[in-house]
Amino acid sequence: MNDHLTDFLQVRGEDFTANGEKVLLRGFGLGSWMNLEHFMIGLPGTDTMIKKAFADVYGADRAATFFDRFLLEFVDERDFAFLKSLGVNSLRLPFNYKYFIDDQRPGVYKEEGFVYLDHVVDLCEQFGIYAILDLHSVPGGQNPDWHCDTSSGLPLFWEYGALRDTVIGLWGHIAKRYRDRPWVGAYDIVNEPSLVKDAVVFNEFYDKVIAEIRRHDPHHIIFIEGNAFTTDFSMLDPVDDPQVAYEFHFYPFVDEPAVLSPEMDRARRRQIFAEAFAKLLAVRDKYKKPVWCGELGLVLNPQEIDFQVSIIEDMLELCETNDVSWALWTYKDAAVMGIAYPREDTPWRLLAGKIKQVWNQHEEQGKGEALVDYMAQTYFKPISTEARYPLQFRMRTIMQAICVEQNLKPFLEELPWETVYRLPESFRWEQCDYCEELAALVRKYTGVR
């Protein structure tokens, strides 16, 4: 066992430190790797829906082979050499609980998830980059949106203690495995909780999971995320653990879409960003702990890349000037938010391009709201904005199920297995390009030339 605590990333006051030196985390998330996100890879449905579609079309064994290849092809040493050339020092690793827990045997942990997690954790260790383990999907869903792999559009995780106990046990199992790995920088307990109603349940969960981790691992930092997709910390009580820190996500255009317009004056946009950031940053003053902006970024359009990189620059500038660690979302995807992406002529991009002709995730929310309004006005009475908000998530899960049947499976059925088997190769580094403008911006803040 490694007894030298200085080898580990640590909390000291309101800073992160390693080997006694202050560390500002600068890096990326590895989105859509161990937790598929439809818009990022160009395939409709949730993680579970997409995998089931492949199994329905090609059979369970071939589907398992396909996703094994996807997970191991997604990043390798060449990606990490690129990350190192950017000067980043951290990588957030989102994963779905289903790689570790069998829903029918919740007390038995699966080893297969560690094959993939260790693959990237080992690369992080090899290249001197902190791996931050992020449980992105939990049983029942911690929020109502697709990215937690919900099939109901309801955050049922907060309704059932049995589901939370399953995740508490999982984190103990993970902590036991990684407790002696200094390049595992932290444990990110649960991504973007939302629509949490009971503060007692919320605080009790964090207290229990921290206690379970500490039974096995006294060293690693534990990140706590707030409610409302980790933008609201008002429900949380202080935590009595010296190695706890707080994480928020910064997508200010969700509330202020006008900031994405080139017509808006940049000074005005910066003012809007600063006001939104200050509200999130208040959590540091409240708890006197370091904070991490675990996600920030936006959908990129090559035709507007200079303008869009200026938006990201305005967000990163707030992190840097306020001494806040950050992780861009995301490192690699099918040319949506990632700095790296398969080229247009690769098989994956060609398939995603065909699907895009009939399916567009960015219209989902509007369609969900319109369907809720139609249902209310046609069969009941018009409903309030407050009531419509949670209902549109439930409507979208129905839409996603339909899209899988009508807009994913038909395309898969046209492709022979031999072609599908090779699709993951599109993510190999030699098949990819990267956004040079965003790379230059990252280097500006890491100091690498």
What positions carry a catalytic annotation?
A: 192, 295
Q: Are strands 340-342 and 432-434 parallel, antiparallel or unpaired?
A: antiparallel
Burial of 151 (0-12, 13-18, 19+ CB in 10 A): middle
Retrieve residue 121's tokens. 């954790």
Q: What pairs with residue 11 in β-bridges?
A: 16
Distances (CA, A) of 328 to 26, 99, 237, 251, 334: 8, 24, 28, 11, 16
Q: Are strands 15-18 and 21-23 parallel, antiparallel or unpaired?
A: antiparallel
Q: Are 410 and 164 in contact (CB under 8 A)?
A: no
Give the integer Cα–Cα distance in Å for 78 and 43. Answer: 26
Q: CB neighbours of 377 closer than 8 A, spacing ≥ 6? A: none
Q: CB neighbours of 114 closer than 8 A, spacing ≥ 6? A: 100, 177
Q: Are 29 and 294 in contact (CB under 8 A)?
A: yes
**Cα angle: 266, vertex 331, 173; to 5 degrees:** 125
Q: Give one DSSP letter per residue of 346-377, joined into a string.
A: SHHHHHHHHHHTT--GGGHHHHHHHHHHHHHH
Distances (CA, A) of 339 to 9, 205, 249, 441: 26, 35, 18, 11
